[in-house]
């Protein structure tokens, strides 16, 4: 759910995920811009309460006051409200004040209900927060506005709040009152709160995890859909002689080495710092804290681009057992995360532990397996070198006996007894050949090169969670076959408990049929039956001379689709798109554009989100989609850049990169 975004403000654009250093309006000494800050946050209430600051802010503006010419967010005094119980400014006043001093993004005076309060209190305070949100909209003129999600530790209240304010016209949605949870390492509860909030907020607006300033939690928070962070921590920790790292916190007093590559840590030793005057030391540690925090934001952005943010999260969550607990808690939300997970990525899937079993890709494979044709019998092979289908062919034909395979090289095989009453005759029935591997489980050989079934790596020593998961998947998968032939290696590896009968594997004849393979891939990619609908007629398969891989599929001279080498999925041609359009029922795979966009779509121009009037809600990012008008006439086809929910919600930016005009 992590994303790279652009937040537009009156003082310029900001790339997200972004970290906003907290600037004290009266006593800032560090030039945060130098360390990578493109946007900052300061406190309007503190300015309001100090006559001198207030006067200067009203006269010269807040940008002049804190000497920062980029976007400035101001907080409203809610924090002070939560700390001291009462403040002397009204919601309307604070909105008007923020507008007057030229804040880019202001905040209403919400009630930051602490964690673990009684439900009654949380509900009551949420009512006030919602009223004030409404009032804030009424009070503002041009000011961009935060509206904070509250609801204490009640996920349903957070969800309700998010849904209500999400429908109102706010520019940014902070998630509030999580600081006490973060301070007490209750990361597990933070996950429930953030996911309840984000699931109900509009995808087109940035979310700010308020008060989360430690780089330990950035990656996890971004993976849950948070875009903005604020950090007073860089200076507060420095005051306390503490160095932040994405892997935790070091106290200077315990350091004998500087555990970081930043300029400060490279230049000074712990003794150097300890022997300095407090002020100088504090400034240097604050610089380290900023260096490492911004580096973590950059690392996260790069991981989003590389498509391996969850791998970064899985690394970072080893920093503390309670972060690992939070990561494990994410399991509940895999289905939601799958919706936001792009279908195809640049990077391989790296298994990093039992938590990797909860990644969206695995859930997706399991559900897509059901799209494939059903055969009578199944053969479960042990794992061997990827790509399996290529290597098994090499293995089988290495003796030059094209029709008599020597499968014994893969070890002993058994027939499983006592399943569906099957026909015991071995020859002549359709056979599904599969490989069993970690973490994707059962992989039919026809689709073994589709991303990420070939593009993944896992350790050879298995953990118990993956054994248990794959065991479950095998049991589920084989239920539908009348005969199951299984490798001894698979039986042992996954502690399978079946009645087994010896089976002479050389009695089997394996048939690798390219025409069947392309249909499997199409079914897996587009849905049951898509293969038949795409690939009929005088099917000609063109392979790469160099790699021997399937490249193009033609009907006679007519190109239907191209199989992309990098991820093994089909990219359609015009004819392919037409066939798919004819086969798939509306709104399957459709992005429906209005009449304004129709001519552009026909010309092959990219589709902008604002022209989309309907969409198949199941579309993910990086999927091959059909672009149609309201009459379901096929206009063009292309690759989705966002998922369906995002395309529906965004009013700016591209939705689909069109491949070619339809006609």
Indicate which residues carry an active-site annotation.
Answer: 75
Q: Which residue has the tokens 């439900």?
A: 119
> Min. distance of Cβ 243 from a second copy in angstroms?
11
Contact map string, positions 260 to 299, toward a second copy, x by CB under 8 A: xxxx-xx------------------------xx-xx--xx
The rounded distance, in Å, linking the Cα atoms of 583 and 532 is: 9
Is residue 472 a contact residue for a second copy (CB under 8 A)? no
Beta bridge partners of 486: 380, 414
Using CB under 8 A as the binding rule, the residues of this chain from 294 to 353 that contact a second copy are 294-295, 298-299, 301-302, 305-306, 311-312, 314-315, 318-322, 324-325, 328-329, 331, 346, 350-353
Least Å from the CB of residue 289 to a second copy: 10
Pick the binder of a second copy from 402, 464, 497, 557 (CB under 8 A).
464
Question: One symbol per residue from 367 to 406: x for binding a second copy (CB under 8 A), - otherwise; what is it?
Answer: ----------------------------------------
Nearer to a second copy, 172 or 303 (CB): 303
Smaller CB separation from a second copy, 320 or 645: 320
φ, ψ (nearest 5 deg) of residue 17: -60, 140
Query: Could you say which residues in the range 619-658 bind a second copy, by CB under 8 A?
Result: none
**CB-wise, 84 or 461, nearer to a second copy?**
461
- C-beta contacts of 586-590 below 8 A and 24+ residues apart: 586/628, 586/632, 587/614, 587/615, 587/616, 588/527, 588/616, 588/618, 589/526, 589/616, 589/619, 589/623, 589/624, 589/625, 589/626, 590/614, 590/615, 590/616, 590/625, 590/626, 590/627, 590/628, 590/632
Dihedral pair phi/psi, residue 161, rounded to 5°: -60, -50
Could you say which residues in the range 432-461 bind a second copy, by CB under 8 A? 457-461
Residue 311 CB, nearest distance to a second copy (Å)?
Answer: 8
CB of 73 to a second copy, least distance (A): 22
Mind giving me the DSSP string for 331-390?
Answer: GGGHHHHHHTS-SS-SS-EE--SGGGGGSHHHHHHHHHHTTSPP-SEEEEEPP-SSSHHH
Residues 6+ apart with CB under 8 A from 472: none
Tell me how crowded residue 99 is: count the other CB atoms within 10 A of its CB: 16
Binding of a second copy by 256 (CB under 8 A):
yes
With respect to a second copy, which residue has the nearer C-beta, 459 or 548?
459
Give least dist CB 457 to a second copy, A: 4
Quote the CA–CA distance of 407 and 396 in Å, as a whole number.
Answer: 7
Between 20 and 133, whose beta carbon lies closer to a second copy? Answer: 20
Question: Max CA-CA distance within the chain?
Answer: 93
Specify the residue, 465 or 614, whose C-beta has the smaller distance to a second copy: 465
610: Cβ contacts below 8 Å, ≥ 6 apart: 650, 651, 652
Residue from the set 141, 257, 497, 557 that interacts with a second copy by CB under 8 A: 257
Q: Which of 134, 468, 551, 605 binds a second copy (CB under 8 A)?
A: 468
The binding track of 193-232 with respect to a second copy, each residue x by CB under 8 A or -, is ----------------------------------------
DSSP letter, residue 277: -
CA pair distance 559, 232, nearest whole angstrom: 59
Are 289 and 244 in contact, with CB atoms under 8 Å apart? yes
- Tell me if 475 contacts a second copy by CB under 8 A: no
Q: Does 143 engage in binding with a second copy (CB under 8 A)? A: no
- Torsion (CA) 414, 416, 422, 423 in degrees, nearest 10: 20
List of residues contacting a second copy (CB under 8 A): 35-36, 188, 247, 250, 254-263, 265-266, 291-292, 294-295, 298-299, 301-302, 305-306, 311-312, 314-315, 318-322, 324-325, 328-329, 331, 346, 350-355, 457-461, 463-465, 467-468
């Amino acid at each position: 759910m992590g994303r790279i975004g652009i937040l537009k403000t009156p003082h310029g654009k900001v790339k997200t995920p972004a970290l906003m250093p907290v600037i004290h309006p009266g006593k800032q000494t560090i030039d945060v811009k130098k360390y990578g800050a493109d946007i900052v946050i300061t406190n309007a209430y503190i300015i309001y309460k100090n006559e001198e600051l207030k006067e200067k802010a009203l006269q010269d503006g807040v940008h002049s006051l804190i000497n920062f010419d980029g976007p400035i967010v101001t907080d409203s005094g809610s924090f002070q409200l939560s700390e001291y119980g009462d403040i002397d400014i009204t919601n309307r006043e604070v909105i008007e004040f923020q507008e007057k001093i030229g804040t880019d993004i202001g905040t209403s005076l919400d009630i930051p209900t602490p964690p673990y309060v009684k439900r009654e209190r949380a509900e009551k305070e949420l009512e006030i927060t919602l009223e004030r949100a409404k009032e804030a909209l009424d009070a503002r003129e041009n000011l961009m506005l935060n509206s904070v999600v509250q609801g204490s530790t009640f996920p349903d209240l957070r969800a309700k709040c998010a849904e209500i304010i999400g429908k109102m016209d706010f520019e940014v949605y902070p998630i509030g009152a999580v600081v006490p949870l973060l301070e007490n390492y209750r990361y597990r509860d933070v996950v429930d709160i953030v996911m309840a909030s984000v699931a109900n907020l509009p995808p087109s607006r940035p979310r700010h995890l308020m008060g989360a300033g430690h780089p330990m939690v950035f990656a996890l928070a971004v993976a849950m859909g948070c875009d903005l962070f604020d950090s007073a921590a860089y200076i507060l920790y420095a005051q306390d002689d503490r160095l932040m790292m994405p892997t935790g916190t070091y106290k200077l007093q315990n350091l004998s080495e500087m555990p970081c590559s930043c300029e400060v840590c490279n230049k000074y030793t712990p003794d150097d710092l300890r022997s300095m005057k407090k002020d100088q030391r504090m400034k240097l540690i604050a610089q380290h804290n900023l260096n490492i925090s911004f580096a973590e934001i950059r690392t996260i952005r790069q991981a989003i681009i590389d498509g391996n943010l969850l791998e970064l999260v899985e690394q970072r969550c080893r920093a503390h057992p309670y972060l690992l607990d939070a990561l494990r808690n994410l399991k509940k939300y895999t289905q939601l995360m799958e919706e936001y997970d792009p279908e195809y990525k640049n990077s391989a899937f790296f298994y990093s532990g039992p938590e990797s079993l909860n990644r969206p890709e695995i859930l997706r494979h399991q559900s897509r397996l059901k799209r494939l044709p059903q055969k009578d019998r199944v053969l479960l092979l042990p794992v061997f070198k990827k790509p399996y289908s290529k290597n098994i062919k090499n293995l089988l034909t290495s003796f030059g006996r094209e029709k008599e395979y020597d499968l014994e090289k893969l070890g002993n095989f058994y027939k499983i007894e006592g399943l569906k009453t099957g026909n015991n005759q071995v020859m002549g029935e359709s056979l599904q050949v599969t490989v069993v591997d970690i973490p994707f489980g059962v992989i039919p050989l026809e689709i073994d090169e589709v991303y990420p079934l070939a593009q993944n790596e896992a350790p050879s020593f298995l953990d118990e969670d993956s054994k248990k998961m794959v065991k479950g998947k095998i049991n589920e998968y084989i239920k539908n076959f009348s005969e199951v032939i299984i490798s001894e290696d698979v039986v042992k590896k996954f502690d399978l408990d079946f009645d087994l009968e010896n089976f002479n594997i050389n009695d089997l004849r394996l048939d690798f049929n390219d025409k069947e393979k392309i249909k499997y891939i199409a079914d897996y990619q587009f849905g049951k039956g898509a293969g038949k609908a795409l690939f009929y007629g005088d099917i000609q398969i063109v392979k790469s001379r160099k790699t021997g891989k399937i490249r193009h599929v033609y009907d006679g001279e007519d190109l239907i689709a191209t199989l992309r080498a990098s991820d093994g999925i089909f990219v359609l041609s015009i004819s392919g798109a037409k066939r798919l359009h004819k086969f798939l029922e509306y709104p399957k795979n459709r992005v429906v554009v209005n009449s304004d966009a129709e001519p552009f779509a026909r010309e092959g121009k990219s589709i902008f989100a604002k022209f989309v009037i309907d969409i198949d809600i199941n579309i993910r990012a990086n999927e091959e989609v059909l672009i149609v008008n309201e009459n379901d006439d096929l206009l063009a086809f292309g690759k989705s850049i966002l998922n369906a929910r995002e395309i529906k919600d965004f009013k700016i930016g591209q939705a689909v990169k069109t491949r070619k005009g339809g006609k």
